[in-house]
């Protein structure tokens, strides 16, 4: 298996390269200067993309043309890009997740049970990230908000975003009634949690047929 890493010089890229190299797994590092026309794929290649919405289309096109499974954690994508991902899934296996951690997948699952308290509580999601994060609200915030809205079947105020310092990612979901509050909080303690999750997804995806998958499919095995 060879792992083709986009944005290899970036924060996530560096974490992926470090983990893959420590396991002696073959890595191809792509940078802004890499020429995709010169990149050749083997039947055992898989893409792991943590780059930017600007680069996403290019690398997805390359994956489709070369029939290479495609894992992406890039956030800030447009509706058109999500459509493109869906279309690609008729040719190759694709998996996109705004948060590659097991913990967030579990929090997302728990949120579905908030249907039971919907009538008596108000809800609010807050998210905190490092000062370099480009998109706001975070992809994870948007993802959790969609689950929450479906579960409680009512409008929920916009996700509140805080940017500062080196925070890897904190997501907090408040439920508030007249008499009590519940806060469900996930904190990423390092960046490797996302990189390890993405590697797990890539290994799993490489043995799937064409289709669109999410992290819950990986957890379910
Ligand atoms: N799903 C998750 O679990 C998760 C977790 C963390 C982050 N993310 C997301 O992953 C993405 C990357 O995050 P990061 O913190 O690693 O960002 P980062 O440190 O800014 O790294 C981005 C990388 O992508 C490259 N890049 C950006 N635009 C490019 C372009 N047009 N062409 C070629 N290369 C380009 C950058 O190259 P240069 O250095 O040359 O600019 C850099 O290597 C963001 O969308 C972030 O929100 C997702």
- Is 122 in the same domain as 200? no
Expressed in angstroms, the distance from the first to the final Cα of the chain is 19
C-alpha 142/C-alpha 186 separation (Å) is 15
How does pLDDT run along the chain (221 residues), one tens digit per residue?
899 999 999 999 999 999 999 999 999 999 999 999 898 888 789 999 999 999 999 999 999 999 999 999 999 999 999 999 999 999 999 999 999 999 999 999 999 999 999 999 999 999 999 999 999 999 999 999 999 999 999 999 999 999 999 999 999 999 999 999 999 999 999 999 999 999 999 999 999 999 999 998 998 88
Catalytic residue status for 217: no
Number of domains in the chain: 2
pLDDT for res 221? 80
**Known active-site residue 129:** yes
What is the reported pLDDT for 11? 96
CATH code assigned at 162: 3.30.360.10
pTM for the complete prediction? 0.94
* Structure tokens, 179: 């008499």
The structure tokens 């913990």 sit at 103
| Judgement on whether residues 110 and 176 belong to the same structural domain of the protein | yes
The answer on 110 and 91 residing in a single domain is no
- Give me the catalytic one of 80, 130, 133, 186: 133
Task: Residue 201: give its domain's CATH number.
Answer: 3.40.50.720
Do residues 199 and 92 both lie within one domain? yes
Residue carrying structure tokens 């105020």: 157
Instruction: Based on the fold, state whether residues 88 and 121 are members of the same structural domain.
Output: no
Catalytic residue among 33, 109, 119, 129: 129
pLDDT digits 0-9 by tens, 93-152: 999 999 999 999 999 999 999 999 999 999 999 999 999 999 999 999 999 999 999 999
Residue 197 phi/psi, 5-degree rounding, is -60, -40
Q: Say whether both 33 and 122 belong to one domain.
A: no
Same domain assignment for residues 96 and 26: yes
Whether residue 213 is found in the same domain as residue 129: no
DSSP structure string for the chain: -EEEETTTTSHHHHHHHHHHHHTT--EEE--TT--GGG----TTEEEEE-S-HHHHHHHHHHHHHHT--EEE---S--HHHHHHHHHHTTTSEEEE-S---HHHHHHHHHHGGGGGGTTT-EEEEEEEE-TT--SSS-HHHHHHHHHHHHHHTS--PPPEEEE-TT---EEEEEEE-SS-EEEEEEE--SSHHHHHHHHHHHHHHTTS-SEEE-HHHHHH-
Q: What is the pLDDT of residue 6?
A: 97
Centroid of ligand 1 to alpha carbon of 150 (angstroms): 30
Same domain, 94 and 106: no
Which letter, b or e, does each residue of 55-89 get, where b requires 16 or more Cβ atoms within 10 Å of its Cβ? ebeebbebbbebebbbbbbbbbbeeebeebbeebb
Of all protein residues, whose CA lies closest to atom 3 belonging to ligand 1? 99
> Strand 45-49 vs strand 70-72: parallel, antiparallel, or unpaired?
parallel
Please tell me the predicted confidence (pLDDT) of residue 50: 98
Domain that holds residue 206: 2-100+192-220
Task: Give the pLDDT confidence score for residue 40 in this predicted structure.
Answer: 85
**Are 96 and 6 found together in one domain?**
yes
Q: Which residues line ligand 1 (CB under 6 A)?
A: 7, 9-13, 32, 50-52, 54-55, 73-76, 97-100, 135, 194
Q: Are residues 91 and 199 in the same domain?
A: yes
pLDDT for 124: 98
């Amino acid at each position: 298996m060879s792992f083709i890493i986009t944005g290899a010089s970036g924060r996530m890229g560096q974490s992926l390269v470090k983990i893959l190299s420590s396991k002696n797994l073959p890595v191809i590092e792509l940078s802004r200067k890499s020429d995709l026309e010169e990149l050749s794929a083997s039947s055992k290649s898989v893409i792991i993309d943590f780059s930017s919405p600007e680069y996403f289309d290019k690398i997805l096109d390359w994956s489709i043309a070369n029939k290479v499974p495609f894992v992406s954690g890039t956030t800030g994508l447009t509706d058109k890009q999500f459509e493109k991902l869906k279309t690609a899934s008729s040719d190759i296996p694709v998996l996109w997740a705004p948060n590659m951690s097991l913990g967030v997948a579990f929090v997302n699952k728990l949120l579905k049970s908030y249907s039971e308290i919907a009538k008596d509580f108000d809800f609010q999601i807050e998210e905190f990230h490092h000062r370099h994060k480009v998109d706001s609200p975070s992809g994870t915030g948007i993802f959790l908000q969609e689950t929450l809205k479906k579960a409680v079947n009512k409008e929920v105020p916009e996700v509140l975003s805080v940017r500062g310092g080196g925070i890897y990612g904190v997501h907090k979901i408040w439920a508030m009634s007249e008499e009590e509050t519940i806060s469900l909080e996930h904190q990423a303690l390092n960046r490797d949690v996302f990189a390890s999750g993405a590697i797990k997804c890539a290994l799993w995806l490489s043995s799937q047929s064409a289709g669109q998958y999410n992290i819950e499919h990986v957890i379910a095995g």
